[in-house]
Amino acid sequence: MLLEKFALNDRVAIVTGAGRGIGKGIALGFADVGAHVTVAARTVSEIENTAAEIQAMGRRALAIPTDVCVWEQVENMAQRTLDEFGRIDILVNNAGGAIPLSPLGNWSEEYWDGMIALNLKSQVLCCKAVVSVMMEQKKGCIINMSSLASRVAFRNVAPSYGATKAAIVNLTQSLAAELASHGIRVNAICPGKVLTSTTGRVWSTPELQAQGAKDTYLKRLGTPEDVALLAIFLASDAASWITGETYTITGGWGEIAML
């Protein structure tokens, strides 16, 4: 009976950045445990492929091209999901990234504004678009994607990225406090080094992957499925007493002290 609490049977989820990588892994994972999924991203062919895979699993899927930095498109994503499925139970704010990483001395105002929009504004807009529906339902779950960079400094590489991802942690706590009385839970995930089609360009061989994983306790890179399993738990009734929390999933991170 306890295992039934991990199921997402006939719940409706929106997953942004679902065309590839972690977002696609979460979308497919949700479908595997019973959810219907709206998959959103800017690249039409990628989200259509994800939607087709979900439909092949016997679940319903809706592919909606969306720039999550533009309110009108985010609003359309939420409304079309509601029109198609009649409810919105889960939102995963996975879309985000870097453009590209740069040290402080090279920043322009436009660069900083772009990072804020891509990683923080986008999540605020998506939350705003679904929260009234979840409040009316008196139940909902929001999962915000942060990063290990929110908790660990990467010198000369990613202060802008890390700052925006750290802001997501506080946003998660603040929204959890605000929305708890409406039955809405809000949590965050901080992935470490995950092997995807994008990061695979860097870790392109088994030797490079081993090098990338050497500072993790488990000595391997993560997979989108690893993150998806955590997202399934947080979205399910098995996590019904969990809100305002941030979960780091890294395979263990840091040097082991030798005595």
Residue 18 lies in a domain: yes
Residue 154 lies in a domain: yes
pLDDT of residue 187: 98
pLDDT of residue 259: 45
Residue 232 lies in a domain: yes
Residue 61 lies in a domain: yes
Q: Which helix (H) or strand (E) holds 134?
A: helix 122-137
Active-site positions read 161
**Exposed (0-12), middle (13-18) or buried (19+): which is 90, by Cβ within 10 Å?**
buried
pLDDT of residue 111: 86
pLDDT of residue 101: 67
Residue 212 lies in a domain: no
Domains in the chain: how many in total? 1
Helix (H/G/I), strand (E/B), else coil: 63: strand
Which amino acid appears at position 7 of this protein? A
- Cα within 13 Å of Cα(5), Cβ side: 9
Residue 85 lies in a domain: yes
Residue 213 lies in a domain: no
pLDDT of residue 157: 55
Which residues constitute the domain of residue 37? 8-194+223-249
Pair of tokens at residue 206: 């088994």
Residue 83 lies in a domain: yes
Q: How many CB atoms lie within 10 A of CB 174?
A: 12
CATH of the domain at 37: 3.40.50.720
List per-residue pLDDT tens for the chain, 259 residues long.
Answer: 789 999 999 999 999 999 999 999 999 999 999 999 999 999 999 999 999 999 999 999 999 999 999 999 999 999 999 999 999 999 999 999 877 766 777 778 888 899 999 999 999 999 999 999 999 999 999 999 999 988 887 665 557 888 999 999 999 999 999 999 999 999 999 999 999 988 888 899 999 999 999 989 999 999 999 999 999 999 999 999 999 999 999 999 875 554 4
